[in-house]
């Protein structure tokens, strides 16, 4: 695999929530950028963004020539990735793509930094970032799988509105304001649906047991991502996974409540011993409760509520939560780019 000492880098989707966070994290981590280019839709082209490498004018992705680039961090959505990633990769650019477009392609490694780093060695020009929910879960499940071998899991996600982009944040804030004008109706009934084109039901003061779009078997695409991506990342197709993905009225931070069973029974002390040394995480004691607010703006994924299963003994239940804009997307992309450095 080729290494880049001072790469020429592009951030694609640079004006979106994840793209802006990518730029911020490149700066925070002193990534050795030789030159930085920013690209986005034609609507954002011409905007000037102040960065650690000077003021950069945003280019139109449709018109951008990738010649001369070494690494491109894509967060432009699946349809744009399908249209543009191949032409970038054909010129020799290594693309780290944050969308779902290529995650399940056999020749595209799906990599969580600090969990399955070695998989990036097999890239053929494109490396995929997992879904942000899967990403947080893998920070706890990956070390436990290496130690004990996961046989089955039941996972329920609690996904923030920023997982739907800037529009998700806007809808939540708007609905909280509008529905909050009549708190009695929220308690006794009679509330008026403010209406939105993003979610199936109101998200303000509410919980939606439907994150994503319904697909096969009554499961959503978010739920299938949790199944398929987990198996690919852990290289364990036999793991039985039962997912439910829920949208909750928070701005940042995806949480997952998960119960796992292993090839042999695992005790609490054994599991905590593994999790205490898991890279990129913080293991919180039982009297501390990690929440999405605690995860906001930090790199580490937080693990808490670790306990032995009781309904089906021999397993471990826990709660994990991480900033979906950072480790769930932008940070992991930058960490993967760092794996391409000498």
Cα 250 from Cα 247, distance rounded (Å): 9
Q: Residue holding tokens 């329920």?
A: 156
Three-state SS at 292: helix
Minimal CA–CA distance to 325: which of 143, 166, 96? 166
Q: Is 245 assigned a catalytic role?
A: no
Class of residue 125 by CB neighbours under 10 A (exposed 0-12, middle 13-18, buried 19+):
middle
Per DSSP, 271 falls in state: H
Catalytic member of 84, 123, 132, 145: 132
Helix or strand run (H / E) with residue 45 = none
> Which residue, 69, 65, 58, is CA-closest to 10?
69
The three-state secondary structure class of 57 is: strand
Question: Measured at the alpha carbon of residue 190, what is the angle toward residues 188 and 191, in degrees to the nearest 5?
Answer: 100
Q: Which residue has the tokens 């089906």?
A: 312
CA distance readout (Å), 322 to 7, 224, 286, 290, 307: 29, 20, 18, 9, 19
Residue 319: CA count within 13 A, CB half-sphere: 16
Q: Is 254 known to be catalytic?
A: yes
Selection from 3, 2, 1 nearest residue 341 by Cα: 3
Number of neighbours of residue 44 by Cβ within 10 angstroms: 19
Out of 84, 123, 145, 254, the active site residue is 254
Residue numbers annotated as active site: 132, 254
């Amino acid at each position: 695999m080729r290494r880049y000492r001072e790469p020429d880098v592009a951030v694609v989707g640079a004006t979106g929530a994840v793209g802006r966070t990518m730029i911020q994290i490149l700066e925070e981590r002193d990534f050795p950028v030789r030159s930085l280019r920013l690209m986005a839709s034609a609507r954002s082209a011409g905007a000037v963004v102040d960065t650690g490498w000077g003021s950069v004018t945003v280019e139109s992705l449709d018109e951008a020539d990738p010649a001369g680039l070494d690494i491109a961090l894509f967060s432009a959505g699946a349809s744009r990735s399908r249209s543009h990633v191949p032409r970038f990769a054909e010129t020799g650019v290594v693309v780290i793509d944050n969308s779902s477009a290529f995650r399940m392609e056999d020749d595209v490694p799906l990599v969580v930094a600090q969990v399955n780093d070695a998989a990036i060695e097999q890239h053929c020009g494109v490396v995929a970032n997992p879904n942000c929910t899967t990403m947080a879960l893998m920070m706890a499940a990956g070390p436990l799988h290496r130690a004990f071998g996961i046989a089955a899991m039941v996972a329920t996600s609690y996904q923030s509105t920023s997982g739907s982009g800037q529009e998700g944040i806007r809808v939540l804030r708007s609905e909280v304001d509008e529905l909050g004008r009549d708190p009695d109706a929220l308690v006794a009934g009679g509330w008026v649906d403010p209406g939105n084109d993003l979610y199936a039901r109101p998200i303000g003061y509410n919980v939606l047991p439907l994150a994503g779009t319904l697909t096969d078997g009554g499961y959503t695409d978010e739920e299938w991502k949790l199944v398929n991506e987990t198996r690919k990342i852990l290289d364990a197709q036999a793991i039985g996974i039962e997912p439910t993905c829920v949208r909750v009225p928070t701005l940042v931070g995806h949480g997952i409540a998960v119960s796992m069973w292993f090839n042999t029974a695992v005790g609490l002390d054994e599991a905590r011993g593994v999790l205490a040394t898991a890279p990129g995480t913080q293991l919180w004691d039982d009297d501390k409760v990690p929440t999405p607010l605690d995860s906001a703006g930090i790199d580490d994924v937080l693990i808490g509520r670790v306990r032995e299963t009781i309904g089906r003994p021999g397993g471990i239940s826990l709660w994990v939560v991480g900033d979906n804009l950072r480790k769930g997307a932008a940070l992991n992309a930058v960490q993967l780019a760092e794996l391409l450095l000498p």
